[in-house]
């Protein structure tokens, strides 16, 4: 059997693997992937310590469609709550599971501890710092929409959260991509991720910029992307944070110079906060197609982990 593969960060993927996962997700989305059952006989653990609608359903449904059985764990189900170490938890689960899909509120170190064995694949379904499977979903959606990722022009508006970090690490590895973030002051990308994304953009012939205002926005965009202002499982210490975020709401005005742009959102959405209902429910929105692609992308990741 081939060594198991883990997906803790987008950086765990080679350029070839990243491209292949995007294309494979698009094949599942288009219905051209056939009906493989590469996980037949496998058991997939689905552990979410934080709430989830799309990601948990995507991986559960995707695993079942690929022939696996699943075991679901809630936030109070594991002995981590009684002091068992992450390393011991990973060693035990690896003797009973083939894949563990996990969402935690911690940094990736906990998942790296679970992955310190050679029996069970570990997939990061969102951690405090990065949401790699969301980025794969987003690139799959771009590929389905445009037939390519290379050369797309993307404006991201909102907090530099775990979705933004993963998207920055993924998009900057495709030549010709222009990725611009407009993040509220004090809520930008973490410095380490910004530096990694900028270095990757330079190596791959992409463009990467971040600013903290909404003036001088680029035109002729392909995509306008936003996320909810209150990232899942977090809160903001500044009681006046909404006034800082208010100028970064996505409204129809952004389409005046980019009339052909599509709108993307990782959901859940709060209409009237980060985006107006007119945009989210309007003709430019592909947010719900994007949500569906989370399952197709999850299937590509699960297949890859067990290949």
Q: Of the candidates 232, 289, 253, 254, which has an alpha carbon nearest to the alpha carbon of residue 180? A: 254
- Residues 171 and 108 grouped into a single domain: no
pLDDT tens for each residue of 213-224: 999 999 999 999
The contacts of residue 24 (CB under 8 Å, 6+ apart) are 33, 300, 303, 304
CATH number, domain with residue 90: 3.40.50.1370
- 92 pLDDT band, cuts 50/70/90, is very high
Whether residue 179 is predicted with pLDDT greater than 80 in this model: the reply is: yes
Q: Which domain holds residue 96?
A: 10-131+294-305
- Residues 149 and 265 grouped into a single domain: yes
Higher pLDDT, 231 or 245: 245
Q: What are phi and psi of 220, to 5 degrees?
A: 55, 40
Averaged pLDDT of the chain: 95
1 lies in a domain? Answer: no
Give the global pTM: 0.95
Please state the separation of Cα 43 from the chain's center in Å. Answer: 23
- Residues 105 and 14 grouped into a single domain: yes
Give the burial string for 58-85 (b: 16+ CB within 10 Å, else e). bbbebbebbebebeeeeeeebebeeeee
pLDDT value for 2: 63
- Residues 20 and 112 grouped into a single domain: yes
- Residues 52 and 140 grouped into a single domain: no
236 lies in a domain? Answer: yes
Residue showing tokens 């037949």:
40
25 lies in a domain? Answer: yes
- Residues 179 and 72 grouped into a single domain: no
- Residues 232 and 195 grouped into a single domain: yes
pLDDT tens for each residue of 71-89: 999 888 888 889 898 889 9
State the average pLDDT over residues 128-145.
Answer: 97
89 lies in a domain? Answer: yes
Residue showing tokens 């205002």:
213
- 139 pLDDT band, cuts 50/70/90, is very high
- Residues 168 and 246 grouped into a single domain: yes
pLDDT value for 111: 92
- Residues 102 and 16 grouped into a single domain: yes
60 lies in a domain? Answer: yes
- Residues 26 and 93 grouped into a single domain: yes
Whether residue 233 is predicted with pLDDT greater than 70 in this model: the reply is: no
- Residues 83 and 158 grouped into a single domain: no
Whether residue 104 is predicted with pLDDT greater than 60 in this model: the reply is: yes
pLDDT value for 232: 63
Share of the chain above pLDDT 70, in %: 98
2 lies in a domain? Answer: no
pLDDT tens for each residue of 13-40: 999 999 999 999 999 999 999 888 999 9
Per the structure, how many domains does the chain have? Answer: 2
pLDDT value for 287: 98
Whether residue 1 is predicted with pLDDT greater than 60 in this model: the reply is: no
- Residues 201 and 117 grouped into a single domain: no
Tokens of 14: 């080679």
49 lies in a domain? Answer: yes
5 lies in a domain? Answer: no
Residue showing tokens 């680029």:
218
How far apart CA 178 and CA 55 sit, in angstroms, is 27
Higher pLDDT, 202 or 90: 202
How far apart CA 189 and CA 133 sit, in angstroms, is 18
Q: Taking a C-beta distance cutoff of 8 angstroms, is the pair 307, 2 a contact?
A: yes
């Amino acid at each position: 059997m081939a060594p198991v593969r883990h997906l803790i960060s987008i950086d765990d993927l080679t350029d070839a693997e990243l491209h292949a996962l995007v294309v494979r997700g698009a094949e599942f989305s288009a219905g051209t992937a056939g009906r493989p059952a590469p996980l037949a006989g496998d058991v997939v653990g689905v552990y979410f310590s934080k709430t989830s609608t799309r990601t948990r359903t995507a991986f559960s449904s995707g695993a079942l469609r690929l022939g696996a059985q699943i075991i679901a764990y809630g936030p109070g189900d594991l002995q981590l709550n009684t002091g068992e170490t992450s390393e011991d938890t990973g060693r035990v689960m690896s003797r009973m599971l083939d894949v563990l899909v996990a969402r935690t509120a911690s940094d990736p170190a906990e998942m790296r501890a679970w992955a310190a064995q050679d029996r069970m694949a570990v997939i990061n379904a969102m951690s405090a710092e990065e949401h790699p499977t969301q980025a794969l979903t987003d690139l799959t959606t771009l590929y389905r929409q445009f037939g390519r990722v290379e050369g797309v022009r993307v404006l991201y508006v909102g907090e530099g959260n775990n979705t933004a970090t993963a998207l920055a690490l993924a998009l900057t590895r495709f030549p010709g991509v222009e990725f611009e973030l407009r993040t509220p002051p004090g809520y930008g990308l973490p410095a380490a991720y910004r530096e990694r994304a900028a270095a990757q953009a330079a190596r791959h012939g992409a463009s990467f910029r971040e600013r903290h205002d909404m003036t001088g926005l680029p035109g002729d965009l392909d995509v306008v992307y936003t996320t909810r202002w209150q990232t899942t499982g977090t809160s903001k210490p500044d009681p006046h944070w909404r006034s800082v975020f208010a100028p970064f709401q996505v409204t129809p005005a952004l389409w005046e110079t980019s009339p052909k742009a599509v709108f993307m959102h990782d959901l859940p959405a709060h209409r009237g906060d980060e985006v107006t209902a007119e945009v989210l429910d309007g003709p430019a929105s592909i947010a719900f197609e994007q949500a569906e692609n989370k399952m197709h992308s999850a299937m590509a990741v699960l297949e890859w982990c067990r290949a």
